[in-house]
Amino acid sequence: MPKQARCETTILYIEDEPGMIELVRLILARHDMKVLGALDADEGIQIMREARPDLVLLDIMLPKRDGWSVFQQVRSDPLLKDVPIIVVTARSQPSDVILARYEAKVDDYLRKPFGPRDILQSVQKVLARAAQAA
C-alpha cells in the first residue's frame, strides 16, 4: 500500500538572524510545516512571490528596510495581500502592540524572546483563522 503524501504547510520567516530562522524551522518541522528563511526585506518579497507561503513570520527590525515596509508592500500587492502575517519582534512597548494589532491589523503579534509553544500556538491559530476565511 503506498504511503499517503503529507500536506505540508509552507511558512516564510523574514528575519536577519539565521539562528532564529533555524530555531523556528526545528520547532515547526515537528508539525509538518516547512520553514523558508529570508534575511532581508527584498529577499522576503522575492521568496513570497516564488514560493507563495501559507503564512509569513515577519521581524520588524531588518537591515536596509524595516518589516513595516514589507507589510505595507505585501498588503498592497494583489497577489500577496491575503497571506497571513505574524509580526515577530523584540519591540514590545504598548504603542508597538497597538500599532500592529489595531492600526496595521496584523494577524498576530509575537514578542521575542518566545518559547516553542508560543510560536506553534500563534502559527496554528492564524492558519486556522485563514482556513475558515477561505
Q: Which domain holds residue 24?
A: 9-133
47-94 confidence digits (pLDDT tens)? 999 999 999 999 999 999 999 899 999 999 999 999 999 999 887 676
Domain count, the chain: 1
Q: Which DSSP state fits 102?
A: I
107 located within any domain:
yes
85 located within any domain:
yes
Task: Show the cell assigned to 25.
Answer: 524551522
Strand-strand pairing, 9-14 and 55-59: parallel
3 located within any domain:
no
The closest alpha carbon to 109, from 121, 120, 122, belongs to 122
122 has pLDDT over 80 = yes
- Report the pLDDT value the prediction gives residue 6, as an integer from 0 to 100: 52
Q: What is the pTM of this model?
A: 0.90
1 located within any domain:
no
96 has pLDDT over 90 = no
74 located within any domain:
yes
124 located within any domain:
yes
2 located within any domain:
no
Q: What distance lies between CA 128 and its chain's CA centroid? A: 14
Sole residue written with cell 503564512: 55
21 located within any domain:
yes
Q: Which DSSP state fits 54?
A: S
Q: What is the CATH number of the domain that holds 85?
A: 3.40.50.2300
Sole residue written with cell 500500500: 1
